[in-house]
Amino acid sequence: MIVLVVNAGSSTLKSQLIQTDGKICLMKALAERIGAEDAALEVTWPEGGDRRSYPLVGLRVEECLNVLLDAIADELPSSMHSLADIEAIGNRIVSGGEYFTASTIIDDDAFDKIKRCETLAPLHNPPADACIELMRTLLPDTPQVAVFDTAFHQTMPAKAYRYPLPKRYYDDYRIRRYGAHGTSHRYAAQQAANLLGRSLENMGIITCHLGSGGSLAAVSGGVSIDTTMGFTPLEGLMMGTRSGSIDPAIVTYIMRRDGISFDEMDRILNKESGILGISGIGSDMRDVLAAAEKGNKDAALAIEMYTYTIQKAIGALYAVMTRTDAVVMTAGIGENSAELRRRIFSGLAHMGMILDNEKNQVIGAIGTNRVVSIDDSPIKICVVTTDEEMRIARETDALVSGERQG
C-alpha cells in the first residue's frame, strides 16, 4: 500500500510517501522554521537520489503541504501515475484526549472529536486538522487515519494522570495528564530493547524525545506508566518556545501586573518562552549552541537550564520505576547533538548512567541506532533515530486494509 504520512508540527512539516510492502520510502520531505523568512521545504527522492528545495515564505503549515503535493505530482515515483495512486493518508495527531486510546479511521464523527481536542494541543492539533481538511478536499475518496501521540499514555495509572484539583474538574472537563510524543516513545523503547537484545516486556526504559518540543516517558514492561507532558504539551520540560512547568501563580501574577488577556498569556507561554525566551536568539538549539560558543551568556544560560530540566526529569522517572535498564535519546536534539548528550549525562553518572565520550562523539554515526554508554554502565544509554513516519504508515495500512477486508 502507498501511504502518504503527514506529520504536522507547530513550525514543521515532516512527510514521507511510503510503500508499506517492503517498507520502502518513495519520498521524504521536511519543512522547518515555518513562519520564518528562511522557511523552506526540502524534498528527497531516494529512488533517483534527487533533492529539491522549495521556498515557503509566508505560508501556513497546510499551505506547505499543498506545495509538497505539487512537488509529488511533478516528480511522481515510478510506482505511481498520479496523486490518486496514494491509497491512504496517515496523520500524526498530538492529542486525542480521552476520545481515542488507539489509532482510528477518520470519518465525520472521528474528525469532529479530533477538532474538539485542539485546545489540548494548541500549537499542533490545529495545523494537523487543517492538513486533514485539505486532504479531504483534494483526495476525498482516499481514506485517512489519525495516529495519536496521547494513545500510548492511556496506560498510565490514575495516580500518574490525575491532578490534585477538585474532582469535578476531571469529571466535568476531563482535566488530566494526557502526555504526547507517544508514537516516538513507543518506537524508541522497542528499538532500544532490540539494540540490547532484550525483551521489551521485561525492561524498564526512560525514553527522551528531545526536539523543538520535548517529553520523557517511563516505559515499564512495554507500557507507559508516566510522562512529563500533561493536560497539554505545555507542561514538563523547557522547550523551544514553551515554558514547560512553572509555578501556576506566575500566570495570574503577570496577567494582573501587565493587564493582559488569556490569549496573550497563552501566546507568551507557548510561543515566546523556553529556549527562545531565555536566549533571546531563537528556539533552534543549533543556533543557541553556536551563540554560546561565541560567549553569549543568555544562550549559555538557556542551555544550562534546558540540560538541568532534563536531568531532573530523568531522576524523577527513575524514582517511580521498579527497575531502569536503559535511557533512550531520540528526536532532533536527542539524536543529533552529542554536546547536549554530554552535558545531560555528565550529571547522571552517579545514578549508573555513564556515557562513553568516544562513542558519543563518533562522526558519521548520526542516523544509526547505537549504544553510547560505557560497556559496564549499569544503565545503558541508547541513541535511536526516530521513525514516526514508518510506524504511522504501518498503522495506517493495518487499519485501512482491515476495514476493506471487513
Active-site residue numbers? 149
Three-state DSSP state, 20: coil
Sign of CA dihedral 310, 315, 320, 325: positive
| Distance separating alpha carbons of residues 145 and 89, to the nearest angstrom | 6
Indicate if the alpha-carbon torsion angle 279, 283, 285, 286 is positive or negative: negative
Neighbours of 148 (CB within 10 A): 27
Q: Note whether 144 and 132 are within 8 A (CB).
A: yes
Beta strand extents in 20-141 (DSSP E only): 24-32, 40-45, 50-55, 88-93, 104-105
In whole angstroms, what is the distance from residue 92 CA to residue 181 CA?
10
Helices (H), 108-151: 108-116, 125-138
For residue 19, the surrounding DSSP H or E stretch is: strand 13-19
3-state secondary structure at position 373 = strand
How many Å apart are CA 5 and CA 7, to the nearest integer?
6
Residue carrying the nine cell digits 535511536: 384
Contact 360, 327 (CB under 8 A): no
**Torsional sign, CA 381, 384, 388, 393:** negative
Contact, 214 vs 256, CB < 8 A?
Answer: no
d(CA 64, CA 42): 11
